[in-house]
Chains A and B, each alone.
Chain A
Amino acid sequence: GDQVEQSPSALSLHEGTGSALRCNFTTTMRAVQWFQQNSRGSLINLFYLASGTKENGRLKSTFNSKESYSTLHIRDAQLEDSGTYFCAAGTGNTGKLIFGLGTTLQVQP
């Protein structure tokens, strides 16, 4: 079936540094969303992309539907960025989102 492969599964950063998370898709996706899940379980919308690149503060996301991947870049990481990040994408046919298994980010002082 359709799959979303997310990497890395875990990431540790020191404050002020940055990194990238990636999702690869096994089928053509119409759009991708990125979420941050906090310790209480709330899924916070970070980005919705049908194509191209969006930037919001220290976060930037790109979606390349032709090459079937999306990335989330975090720069100047802060302690409050800690949490689990999920990408989720849909084929556009049914409305269902297919989620990756998440990247657990820990930001250390």
Chain B
Amino acid sequence: NSKVIQTPRYLVKGQGQKAKMRCIPEKGHPVVFWYQQNKNNEFKFLINFQNQEVLQQIDMTEKRFSAECPSNSPCSLEIQSSEAGDSALYLCASSLSPRANSDYTFGSGTRLLVI
């Protein structure tokens, strides 16, 4: 069982609806990452946090997503207005360090289907 907990496991939304998913990082890990995996196995980095602060995010995330990692609450990633192309597996990972020389632990993902 993963030490990173993601909910819900599955999410079905209509186009234009909000889609929100949550992640509880591994205990003691201050850094959280979100990735999108599409049906072609392409992973896209979305955003990362250190504690409550955003470290880096891509344009798409900044424009269309709302993400936060509040203190003492799960991290969340919310698509403000879902599009068909957002259908994918959303994976949350945590690590001890924001640098890539620290190994990640991934959650089981939230599979989003936008119809």
Chain A contacts to B: CB under 8 angstroms: 29-31, 33, 35, 40-43, 45, 48, 50, 84, 86, 88-99, 101-102
Cβ-based interface call for B27 (8 A): no
State the CA gap A11–B11 with chains docked (Å): 31
User: Is the CB of B71 closer than 8 A to any CB of chain A?
Assistant: no
Residues of B whose CB lies within 8 Å of any CB of A are 2, 31, 33, 35, 37, 40-43, 45, 48, 55-56, 89, 91, 93, 95, 97-109, 111
Q: Tally A-B pairs: CB < 8 A.
A: 81
- Chain B residue numbers with a CB within 8 Å of A102 are 41
A41 to B102, CA, bound (A): 22
A90 CA to B31 CA, complexed, in Å: 15
A99 to B38, CA, bound (A): 12
A9 to chain B, nearest CB (A): 9
Smallest CB separation, A53 vs chain B (Å): 16
Indicate if the CB atoms of A31 and B108 lie closer than 8 Å.
no
Which chain B residues lie closer than 8 Å to A89 at the CB level? 100
* Beta-carbon nearest neighbor of A102 in chain B: B41
A90 and B101 contact, CB distance less than 8 A = yes
